[in-house]
Amino acid sequence: MNDGLSTIEQQITSDYKYGFTSNLEADQAPKGLNEDIIRFISGRKKEPEWMLEWRLKAYRNWLKMEVPDWANIKYPAVDFQDIIYYSAPKQSKKLNSLDEIDPELRRTFEKLGISLDEQKRLSGVAVDAVIDSVSVATTFREQLGELGIIFCSISEAIQEHPELIKKYIGSVVPMTDNFYAALNSAVFTDGSFCYIPKGVRCPMELSTYFRINAENTGQFERTLIVAEEGSYVSYLEGCTAPMRDENQLHAAVVELVAMDHAEIKYSTVQNWYPGDKEGKGGIYNFVTKRGICAGVHSKISWTQVETGSAVTWKYPSCILKGDHSIGEFYSVAVTNHHQQADTGTKMIHLGKNTRSRIVSKGISAGVSHNSYRGLVSVAKNASNARNFSQCDSLLLGDRCGAHTFPYIEVKNNTAQVEHEATTSKIGEDQIFYCNQRGIDTETAVALIVNGFAKEVMNQLPMEFAVEAQKLLAITLEGSVG
Amino acid sequence: MSTINIIKDKARELGTTQADALQPIRSAALASFDKLGVPAVKHEEWKYTRISQLFNQSYKIGTDTVDSKLNWELFRLPEFETANELVFINGVYNAAASTVRSAGLVVLPLEEAAKGEYASIVSKHLGHSAEYLKDGINALNTSFLVGGVFIGVNRSTEIEHPVYIYTINDGRAENVFAQPRTLVHVAANAGVMFVETYGSIGHADHFTNQVMEVVVEQDARIEYYKIQNDHAGASLVSTTHFRQVGKSYVHAVTISLNGAMVRNNLNMVMEAEYCESNMYGLYFTSDSCHVDNHTIVDNAKPHCLSNEYYKGILDGASTGVFNGKIFVRQDAQKINAFQSNKNILLSDTASVYTKPQLEIFADDVKCSHGCTIGRLDEEGLFYLRSRGITEATAKSLLLHSFAVDILEQVKPDAIRVYIDQLISERLGSYYGNAYPI
Q: Is the pLDDT of residue A201 over 80?
A: yes
Say yes or no for a CB contact (<8 Å) between A421 and B368. Answer: yes
Q: Sort out which chain A residues have CB atoms less than 8 A from B363's CB and list them.
A: 395-398, 400, 425
Of the candidates B352, B363, B366, the beta carbon closest to that of A398 is on B363
Of the candidates B348, B352, B363, the beta carbon closest to that of A425 is on B363
Nearest residue of chain B to residue A365 (CA atoms): B363
Tell me the nearest-neighbour CA distance from A420 into chain B, angstroms.
Answer: 4
Closest of A458, A436, A384, A455 to residue A415, by C-alpha: A384
- Do B229 and B112 lie in one domain? The reply is yes
CB atoms within 10 A of CB B382: 11
pLDDT band at A427 (very low <50, low <70, confident <90, very high): confident
Of A124-128, A384-388, B108-112, the poorest mean pLDDT is in A124-128
Say yes or no for a CB contact (<8 Å) between B44 and A70. Answer: yes
- Do B46 and B160 lie in one domain? The reply is yes
Nearest residue of chain A to residue B328 (CA atoms): A401
User: Residue A157's beta-bridge partner residues?
Assistant: none
Closest of A343, A361, A332, A367 to residue A471, by C-alpha: A332
Of the candidates A401, A413, A418, the beta carbon closest to that of B372 is on A418
Residue A396 lies in a domain: yes
Of the candidates A70, A401, A416, the beta carbon closest to that of B361 is on A401
User: Residue A267's beta-bridge partner residues?
Assistant: A236, A303
Beta strands at B176-178 and B163-170: parallel, antiparallel or unpaired:
unpaired
Say yes or no for a CB contact (<8 Å) between B358 and A396. Answer: no
Residue B284 lies in a domain: no
Q: What percentage of chain A exceeds 90 in pLDDT?
A: 28
Residue A473 lies in a domain: no
Output the pLDDT for position A463: 62
Q: Is the pLDDT of residue A302 over 70?
A: yes
Tell me the nearest-neighbour CA distance from B335 into chain A, angstroms.
Answer: 10
Nearest residue of chain A to residue B371 (CA atoms): A419
Instruction: Point out the domain boundary residue: B253, B272, B291.
Output: B272
Residue A279 lies in a domain: yes
3-state secondary structure of B428: helix
- Do B401 and B266 lie in one domain? The reply is no
- Do B79 and B215 lie in one domain? The reply is yes
Output the pLDDT for position A206: 81
Task: Output the CA–CA distances (angstroms, integers) from residue A277 to A12, A284, A336, A400, in the order listed.
Answer: 10, 16, 9, 14
CB-based contacts of B298: which residues, under 8 Å, 6+ apart? Answer: B132, B267, B268, B269, B270, B327, B329
Of A41-45, A339-343, A447-451, B35-39, the poorest mean pLDDT is in A447-451
Say yes or no for a CB contact (<8 Å) between A409 and B44. Answer: no
Residue A458 lies in a domain: no
User: With contact defined as beta carbons under 8 Å apart, do B317 and B348 qualify?
Assistant: no
Closest of B92, B149, B155, B93 to residue B122, by C-alpha: B149
For residues A156 and B304, the model is more confident at B304
Beta strands at B105-109 and A386-396: parallel, antiparallel or unpaired:
unpaired
The amino acid at A182: A
Q: Sort out which chain B residues have CB atoms less than 8 A from A391's CB and list them.
A: none
Which domain, by its residues, includes A120? Answer: 19-431
Q: Sort out which chain B residues have CB atoms less than 8 A from A411's CB and list them.
A: 351
User: Residue B280's beta-bridge partner residues?
Assistant: B253, B309
CB atoms within 10 A of CB B275: 25
Say yes or no for a CB contact (<8 Å) between B357 and A405. Answer: yes
Say yes or no for a CB contact (<8 Å) between B44 and A421. Answer: no
Q: Is the pLDDT of residue A138 over 70?
A: no
Between CA B244 and CA B217 the distance in angstroms is 6
Residue B224 lies in a domain: yes
Residue B304 lies in a domain: no
Output the pLDDT for position A18: 55
Between CA B314 and CA A294 the distance in angstroms is 31
Beta strands at B261-270 and B234-244: parallel, antiparallel or unpaired:
parallel
Residue B242 lies in a domain: yes
Residue A322 lies in a domain: yes
Tell me the nearest-neighbour CA distance from A356 into chain B, angstroms.
Answer: 14
For residues A303 and A83, the model is more confident at A303
- Compute the C-alpha angle B188/B193/B199, nearest 5°: 140
Q: What percentage of chain B exceeds 70 in pLDDT?
A: 97
Which domain, by its residues, includes B392? Answer: 376-437
First vs last C-alpha separation in chain A: 12
Provide mean pLDDT across the span A214-230. Answer: 77
Q: Report DSSP state, residue A277.
A: T
3-state secondary structure of B308: strand
Say yes or no for a CB contact (<8 Å) between B355 and A408. Answer: yes
Residue A448 lies in a domain: no
Mutate to test the interface with B, among A336, A386, A399, A408 (most CBs of B within 10 A): A408
Say yes or no for a CB contact (<8 Å) between A408 and B353. Answer: yes
Mutate to test the interface with B, among A413, A414, A430 (most CBs of B within 10 A): A413
User: With contact defined as beta carbons under 8 Å apart, do A225 and A257 qualify?
Assistant: yes
Query: Phi, psi (5° rounding) for residue A234?
Result: -120, 125
- Per mean pLDDT, which of A20-29, A124-133, A278-287, B182-191 is the most reliable? B182-191
Output the pLDDT for position A137: 45
pLDDT tens-digit map of A259-269: 999 999 998 88
- Do B385 and B263 lie in one domain? The reply is no
Say yes or no for a CB contact (<8 Å) between A407 and B370. Answer: no
Q: Sort out which chain B residues have CB atoms less than 8 A from A418's CB and list them.
A: 370-373
Closest of B231, B222, B191 to residue B75, by C-alpha: B231
Q: Is the pLDDT of residue A149 over 80?
A: yes
**Total tally of structural domains belonging to chain B:** 2
Between CA B35 and CA B37 the distance in angstroms is 6
Residue B277 lies in a domain: no
Output the pLDDT for position A217: 47
Between CA A224 and CA A195 the distance in angstroms is 8
Beta strands at B84-89 and B92-93: parallel, antiparallel or unpaired:
antiparallel
Size of interface A-B (CB pairs under 8 A): 113
What was the ipTM of the complex prediction? 0.80
Task: Output the CA–CA distances (angstroms, integers) from residue A264 to A129, A174, A361, B7, in the order listed.
Answer: 20, 20, 22, 57
Residues of chain B with pLDDT under 70: 1, 62-68, 433-437
User: With contact defined as beta carbons under 8 Å apart, do A264 and A291 qualify?
Assistant: yes
Say yes or no for a CB contact (<8 Å) between B368 and A416. Answer: no
Residue A444 lies in a domain: no
Of the candidates A393, A413, A419, the beta carbon closest to that of B345 is on A413
Output the pLDDT for position B3: 83
Of the candidates B347, B360, B366, the beta carbon closest to that of A403 is on B360
Output the pLDDT for position A212: 46
User: With contact defined as beta carbons under 8 Å apart, do B262 and B284 qualify?
Assistant: no
Instruction: Point out the domain boundary residue: B254, B272, B290.
Output: B272
Beta strands at A150-153 and A192-196: parallel, antiparallel or unpaired:
antiparallel
**Total tally of structural domains belonging to chain A:** 1
3-state secondary structure of B350: coil
For residues A398 and B76, the model is more confident at B76
* Residues B228-252: b if buried by 16+ CB within 10 A, e if exposed: bbbbebbbbbbbbbbbbbbbbbbbb
- Do B80 and B216 lie in one domain? The reply is yes
Tell me the nearest-neighbour CA distance from A442 into chain B, angstroms.
Answer: 19
Tell me the nearest-neighbour CA distance from B174 into chain A, angstroms.
Answer: 35
Instruction: Point out the domain boundary residue: B272, B302, B330.
Output: B272
Between CA A332 and CA A303 the distance in angstroms is 8
- Do B18 and B154 lie in one domain? The reply is yes
Residue B397 lies in a domain: yes
Nearest residue of chain B to residue A384 (CA atoms): B374
Residue B354 lies in a domain: no
- Do B380 and B244 lie in one domain? The reply is no
Residue A247 lies in a domain: yes
For residues A208 and A330, the model is more confident at A330
Output the pLDDT for position B107: 95
